[in-house]
Amino acid sequence: MFNNRTKIKQLLTGTQVGQEVIVMGWVRTFRNNQFIAVNDGSTNNNLQVVVELGIFDDETLKRLTTGASLKVTGELIASLGKGQTVELKAKTLEILGDSDSEKYPLQPKKHSLEFLREKAHLRFRTNTFAAVFRLRHSLAYAIHKFYNDKGFVYLHTPIITASDAEGAGEMFRVTTLPMDGTAQKNEDGTINYTEDFFGKSTNLTVSGQLEGELGAMAFSDVYTFGPTFRAENSNTTRHLAEFWMIEPEVAFNDLEDNMDLAEAFIQYLIRYAMEHNMEDLEFLDARLAEEEKQKPINERQEFGLIEKLKMVVDNKFERITYTEAIQILLESSHYKKKKFKYDVAWGIDMQSEHERYLVEKHFKKPVIVTNYPAAIKAFYMRLNDGCEAGKETVAAMDILAPGIGEIVGGSQREERLEKLEARMEAMHIPLEEMSWYLDTRRFGSVPHAGFGLGFERMVQFVTGMGNIRDVIPFARTPKNCEF
């Protein structure tokens, strides 16, 4: 009977002192042949199990190695020792699974994040990753709660698609055709996909947005939350080949409504984490502070983790246009002293260093930048009226956050059929293949808007982890697809 155990997090509240309880977990340490630190993943705090000398045979005690799993029955008592308020006085002890102490990779010492990345199947057992993934769970739950409470419909959009929502072409192909070069070809030498499983060229989705727009044209308010894929050869601390995206699409919303929703959404997620996972946040805050001490002063972050999160929830986000953002950067001492690695000029796609300057140095709070140059944005974004030639802008918005830069990208969508078709033709996007998408503009088109939030970027922001590979259970990156 295994369902009568009590989780360690509950026991540490002290409400069950004097009661006989059953605990199951993994051994973190065993010292003096008497004190076992046991953890079951419900909290970073261990429960001390006290083994009275002479009760258990030496053979059993030898098996109490780091990583071994066990079941303990005993009385929960108030602790007289330092470091814990309660402890478990063991009455019976059963080893559920042995762990060879000489081979177990996670010895009770500090391991580098790089080492733990190679042991991703075991790293959940460390305090750092236990805290990160409990927070990831809470944030995922909070996403659904936020949209459900607002009456949104959760739409499952396809993972295999025949469209490229971003027009970037960085997609993973999906095919059942042979890879040995024997696949049938067309006269021009291209692959003949009529013999493929779907009868056409298909790929893993880069976004659920286009399908989300279809749902919004019926339900008004929808959101997607699922995996997306980019075959982008970016080996950085901010990019993954497989990641999760949250994409709301809302009919009868304009750019301002879109900004309001995104700001409320981000603040809600952070508040939820601070309300339900403060213990994990405090652990990660202390860990980050220790990490920052090892860096040169000029490379240290402006704010501590919890301080940064409070800054986001306690402040209304600053709202500026792209043109205003470029002007601020051009007039900054940072630019004049040539401290930016990348140049600044109207028309550039702002780099992370530019975004972080606006947030961390200039405004000292999150910033929403709007009305970007049309030339650097996707085809579906609404063209702003009254733009001068050569400086056309779209009703786009990016939210920039401290420590990370862009965290949300969105726009009001182009609802005018003729404008959308003209933009698609200019960007060489086949109208016939996208006829299903254009139908939303042919039959009852309405102003609508939406945005995308990269879930891992959000988890990275809330946990303070420096590498995005450390906030997803099993990272998929160039030349890496382990586990």
pLDDT tens digits for range 414-461: 999 999 999 999 998 889 989 999 999 999 999 999 999 999 999 999
Q: Is 116 within the bounds of a domain?
A: no
pLDDT digits 0-9 by tens, 207-262: 999 999 999 999 999 999 999 999 988 888 888 999 999 999 999 999 999 999 99
Long-range CB contacts for residues 194-197, cutoff 8 Å, separation at least 24? none
8-state DSSP, 474: S
Q: Is 119 within the bounds of a domain?
A: no
> What does the radius of gyration of the chain's CA atoms come to, in whole angstroms?
27
pLDDT digits 0-9 by tens, 115-174: 999 999 999 999 999 999 999 999 999 999 999 999 999 999 999 998 766 655 689 999
> Given this model, what pLDDT does residue 166 score?
60
Is the pLDDT at 388 greater than 80, yes or no? no
Asked if 21 contacts 11 with a C-beta cutoff of 8 angstroms, the reply is: yes
282 and 420 in a single domain? The answer is yes
Phi then psi dihedrals of residue 369, to 5 deg: -100, 130
Q: Is 449 within the bounds of a domain?
A: yes
142 and 290 in a single domain? The answer is yes
Of the candidates 436, 442, 368, 435, the one whose C-alpha atom is nearest the C-alpha of residue 401 is 368
Which ranges of 294-383 would DSSP assign to H, the alpha helix?
Answer: 305-314, 322-331, 333-336, 352-356
157 and 190 in a single domain? The answer is no
136 and 191 in a single domain? The answer is no
Strands annotated E in 210-280: 221-229, 242-251
> Given this model, what pLDDT does residue 483 score?
87
Q: Is 482 within the bounds of a domain?
A: no
Q: Is 477 within the bounds of a domain?
A: no
Mean predicted confidence (pLDDT) in 293-307: 84
Q: Is 475 within the bounds of a domain?
A: no
> Given this model, what pLDDT does residue 160 score?
96
Q: Is 12 within the bounds of a domain?
A: yes
Count of Cβ atoms closer than 10 Å to residue 406 Cβ: 18
Partners of 367 in the β-ladder = 318, 400
Structural domain count of the chain: 3
Place of tokens 């699974």: 97
Is the pLDDT at 96 greater than 90, yes or no? yes
Determine the Cα–Cα distance for residues 305 and 274; give it in Å rounded to an integer.
Answer: 11
What's the domain range around 234?
125-171+206-470
210 and 245 in a single domain? The answer is yes
243 and 358 in a single domain? The answer is yes
Mean predicted confidence (pLDDT) in 325-340: 94
85 and 217 in a single domain? The answer is no
Q: Is 334 within the bounds of a domain?
A: yes
345 and 258 in a single domain? The answer is yes
42 and 141 in a single domain? The answer is no
Count of Cβ atoms closer than 10 Å to residue 9 Cβ: 15
424 and 444 in a single domain? The answer is yes
194 and 53 in a single domain? The answer is no
Is the pLDDT at 308 greater than 60, yes or no? yes
37 and 138 in a single domain? The answer is no
